[in-house]
Structure 1
């Protein structure tokens, strides 16, 4: 499960931030928690556009994809902070990411009673029209005497408190599981597979379906190559090294941007006919409508569904097994949404590989035996994150 934690204070030093960070680290095997700040959100003003705030866009995009939200609220004058109230106003006026979202409330304060009054007030706000969150009843975690509650490494000192916090979190996990059955996916609008809406990185001077798209765009943009160094988030590599790294991956990788333009695939050294998702060099840069031109209309609808589902945040990924009569092949496709820094949809990366050797290695290494399981020839798998369809970005089908 993926949760987001909302720090209910805009202060630089916050015990509620410390509480969320402790939850993130100490219970990382139970769920993934991303801690989000509200320190740069402007005071709510209905005459202004919420999208002008990077932090509000980030909060919105992260929350709509999260399985649940944990809010850590301080208590100011028997209620929540003005900063948190302003965030809730913004996120219940034109957009409604809390709607039908499971929410757990925690809080830390200097005094014995924790944040009991603030939490009671916050529950009323979250139940208001326009917010309409599913707040877990009861299950209150109130951390009093916060100054003495943590050690120098940010860990909660009291074992009894840790045990109670774990019980509350386990209850929330169960609650999310129940509430998720009531979740209604956001409606999927018709996808533009013809790349008619250029984005900031679209090179409009070259037609996407030009078979020489890569070379022509490289010349226009002055794209670097060879031993030119590229600074990445956590390293510096040459372009040649990046290419070697990507080609050596034991997967077929594909990238299509949020304008539905097919920009890249690796493993160019392979014979296309031996690939699990057949691709050819002239497809790089093409419109997805062109890449999939040979598919029947019903399969094209599946392509649009995959893209729309990921774009909307209805699912974080979509997985499928492509039917194959060869018992040595489990043709596995994973479509993963990618995101810009503000959390908005940036396109799809697709991973294609034969899962069978990995499965055989695991069973042999652990001495286990596979009993039952998915039908390897029909493509049946987990219904929540699967789709029996053609490759959504490269047009792969059964081989």
Structure 2
């Protein structure tokens, strides 16, 4: 489960930040908790709309994609901090990421009562019409005497306190599952599959459907190659090393940017006919509509649905098993959203691989076996693979369909 946790203080030293960091470490097996800071959020002033500033865009995008939100509030003068109040004002002015979002409240303070009064005020704010959050009832975690509550590693000392916190989190995770049934995904707007909205990295002046786009575009922008070094966020590789690294991956990888332009696929020195998602070099740079030019309109809608679903943050990934393959192949596709530094949608990467050898290895290594008779493998949502359409490529619901088409590369298997 993907949760985000808002630090309700803009102070450098915060016991509420320590509380959330402890939860992040202590319960990492249960769920993924990502901390969000409000230090850079401007003071709310409706006369000077700052809804588009980086700090607020970042919070909006992160909260929108999360399944649930945890807010750790201090207590200042019997209420929440001005920084947290200002942030919630912005997030209920023009942006409304907390609407219908499940929220859990925790808090730490210097005194015996924890943050009881601040939490009461925060609940009232979260219930306001402009916020409309679903706040977890009961389960009030009030960490008093915070100075003495943590050890030098930042861990809560009292085992009973940790156990109660875990109980509250478990209840919140159940609450998230219940509330998710009440939530409606954002409506998906029609996708521009013709690359008609150039972005900062769009290379102009060359027809995206030109079969020589890769060479022409590389020449136009003086793209580096060979032994030129590329500094990455966590590494330094030459272009050749980076290319070798990606080509050595035991997966077929593709990438299309947020302008719906197909820009990359790795190739483990295979011919297209031997790949699960068949690709050719001439497709690099293509408009997504061209990539899928042979698809009937109904299947093209499936392509738009997956891109729109990821763009909207309705889901962070879409996974499917393509039906109609031989028994030695479980053709698995994972479509994952990518994000810019401010958390906005940056495109889609696809991982395609045969899951069968991995499954066989796991069963052999652990001495386990599959049970359940002849039931078809299931995909998320409980749909049998043989009856679930490939949402991105528009693969038919018929298990024997021979026109399964990869959503990103668009290379047909027929």
Q: TM-score range by the shorter chain?
A: over 0.9
C-alpha deviations, 1:4-28, integer Å up to 9, x for none? 0000000111000000000001110
**In structure 1, the residue corresponding to 2:379 is in which secondary structure?**
coil
Whole-Å separation in 2 of the counterparts to 1:358 and 1:321: 14
**In structure 2, the residue corresponding to 1:74 is in which secondary structure?**
coil
Q: Is the 8 A contact 1:50 1:57 kept in 2?
A: no
Q: Which residue of 2 aligns with 1:345?
A: 345
What is the 5 A alignment of 1:97-246? Answer: 97-246=97-246
Whole-Å separation in 1 of the counterparts to 2:228 and 2:201: 21
C-alpha deviations, 1:55-81, integer Å up to 9, x for none? 111100000010100000001111101
For normalisation by structure 2, the TM-score amounts to 0.93
Whole-Å separation in 1 of the counterparts to 2:309 and 2:210: 29
Q: Is the 8 A contact 1:374 1:381 kept in 2?
A: no
Q: Is the 8 A contact 1:199 1:259 kept in 2?
A: yes
Quote the offset at 1:50 in angstroms.
Answer: 3.4
Q: Give the 3 Å change call, closer, same or farther, for CA 268–217 of structure 1 in structure 2.
A: farther
**In structure 2, the residue corresponding to 1:193 is in which secondary structure?**
coil
Q: Is the 8 A contact 1:324 1:330 kept in 2?
A: no
**How many correspondences in the alignment?**
397
For residue 390 of structure 2, the aligned residue among 384, 388, 391 is 388
Q: Give the 3 Å change call, closer, same or farther, for CA 70–374 of structure 1 in structure 2.
A: farther
Q: Is the 8 A contact 2:291 2:411 kept in 1?
A: no
Whole-Å separation in 1 of the counterparts to 2:130 and 2:187: 19
Q: Which runs of 5+ in 1 are unaligned?
A: none
Whole-Å separation in 2 of the counterparts to 1:53 and 1:114: 33
Quote the offset at 1:383 in angstroms.
Answer: 2.5
**In structure 2, the residue corresponding to 1:254 is in which secondary structure?**
strand
For normalisation by structure 1, the TM-score amounts to 0.97
Quote the offset at 1:207 in angstroms.
Answer: 1.1
Q: Give the 3 Å change call, closer, same or farther, for CA 384–2 of structure 1 in structure 2.
A: farther
Quote the offset at 1:398 in angstroms.
Answer: 4.8
Q: Which runs of 5+ in 2 are unaligned?
A: 394-405
**In structure 1, the residue corresponding to 2:181 is in which secondary structure?**
helix
Whole-Å separation in 1 of the counterparts to 2:41 and 2:124: 22
